[in-house]
Amino acid sequence: MSSIYLPRTADALAFAMSTYGIPLLVLATTGSAVLTGAAFALEWIPRLAAFGWAGSIVDRRGASVIFHLASLGRAVALATGAVLLYLYPSDAAASVTVMVLAAATGVLTEFSYIAVETASAAAGRRAGPRAHRVQAALLGIDQTATLAGPALAGVLLLAGSPSMLAVVTVLSLLAALLALRTPPSPVAPARAPKGRPGAGLVTGWRTIRALPALGWLVAGLTLSNLSIGLLQAAGPVIVVQHFGQFTTAIGLVWSAAAAATLVAVTVCRFALDRLGLWPVGAACSVIASLACLAAALAPDYLSYLVMVAVLMAADGGLAVVLRTLRSRLIPPEAVGGTLSATILILLLPFTAVWTCSWSAPHCCAIERASVASCV
């Protein structure tokens, strides 16, 4: 499984560092909070718009090919940006460079993400009864990168913008090289519609409608993301105004939650070996529901932090179960398009989280980290 774990690790780190590091780079370069928020928009709006293209192209050309090309393209874009910032560090050209870089990396990262998710689904199918182990390991990789990426990007920025971009470039190149070792995924038949934006989303939506079990699974994931999104959106108000804590306490809540999720994913991996998908999934659902209710009734900050950590840990275990089921249900020849449609649906509940992020810049990185791990 190293043929999927290693490229996934390199891509996840590059994903996290570019997603959260480039807006920090914009802030360091321009000193403008408005442009920093615009950089997030320039990363995410083209990324969402690319879903239709990404899914259909991955289905047609294969995950390993698109994974390689997207990672290589991101490396070229980042290397070009590093050179331009080194040559023109403090004038209008630097501002233009970082904003263009945000848009370019957003689109390329979406293609690499859909490709690596498609390759991961194929790896899960090859694993057969042990597919949950693959999904648990992949989710652990994503969570670790989500924790380490923004912090590493921030530290590297202290050494200068070109240094941070150079490290992300190396990670993207490494992902591109390792992608060549990724086993090829099934491709869609030649008669499938092509050349139209959104063709992949149409195929994905038809697949979801044709498989009732997959439809119920997507509906359940959407409701789970909605509850977590509402909790994240309300978090700053609850922690700062209701419990009277400093704003740094908000980050502590979600850092504790991310750490608890990593532990839960590891425990869930062994529980699934002994008990199977449905008992573990049901247990995680009950724990998550009770923890969500308890968080709403928490009398103080410490109990709120603990309940949110328990909620996210249970959600992490549930994510392993649901991702395993998703990889089994989606037809191999339509994985890219179906994943694109599924992920786009799952991102919709986080509109409230993004609104909160732009109104409270201190919590945007932590909240978006949670968004990435939930899909």
Report yes or no on whether pTM surpasses 0.85. Answer: no
Which pLDDT belongs to residue 96?
83
Between 118 and 171, residue with greater pLDDT: 171
Alpha-carbon distance values, 77 to 81, 103, 109, 150 (Å): 6, 10, 11, 19
Which pLDDT belongs to residue 367?
41
Coil/strand/helix, residue 192: coil
Query: What percentage of the chain carries pLDDT values higher than 70?
Result: 83
Unique residue bearing structure tokens 């649901």:
322
Alpha-carbon distance values, 284 to 261, 277, 311 (Å): 12, 11, 9
Q: Kindly state the tokens that stand for 290.
A: 């009770």
Within 13 A of 94's CA, how many CA atoms are on the CB side?
16
Alpha-carbon distance values, 243 to 252, 298, 301, 311, 353 (Å): 14, 10, 6, 19, 20
Which pLDDT belongs to residue 370?
41
For 338-362, what is each residue's pLDDT tens digit? 877 887 777 776 654 554 444 444 4
Q: 160: which residues sit within 8 A by CB, 6+ positions away?
A: none
Phi and psi at residue 191, to the nearest 5°: -80, -5
Which pLDDT belongs to residue 51?
66
Q: Is residue 79 within a helix (H) or strand (E), and if so which, with residue range?
A: helix 63-87
Fill in the amino acid letter for 354: W
Q: Among 229-233, 255-259, 369-373, which stretch is predicted with the lowest mean pLDDT?
A: 369-373
Cβ atoms of 53 and 337 closer than 8 Å: no
Unique residue bearing structure tokens 């408005």:
34
For 314-337, what is each residue's pLDDT tens digit? 988 888 887 888 777 777 767 777
Which pLDDT belongs to residue 84?
87
Q: Kindly state the tokens that stand for 231.
A: 């909790």
Instruction: Tell me the mean pLDDT in the region 36-60.
Output: 73
Q: Specify which of 33-47, 185-199, 300-314 reaches the highest per-range mean pLDDT.
A: 300-314
pLDDT band at 185 (very low <50, low <70, confident <90, very high): low
For 79-128, what is each residue's pLDDT tens digit? 998 888 888 777 677 778 888 888 888 888 888 888 888 888 777 777 77
pLDDT band at 2 (very low <50, low <70, confident <90, very high): low
Q: 272: which residues sit within 8 A by CB, 6+ positions away?
A: 132, 133, 136, 280, 320, 321, 324
Cβ atoms of 354 and 227 closer than 8 Å: no
Instruction: Tell me the mean pLDDT in the region 275-280.
Output: 84
Q: Kindly state the tokens that stand for 43.
A: 């990363």
Cβ atoms of 78 and 169 closer than 8 Å: yes
Terminus-to-terminus CA distance in the chain, angstroms? 22
d(CA 172, CA 237): 38
Instruction: Tell me the mean pLDDT in the region 287-313.
Output: 90
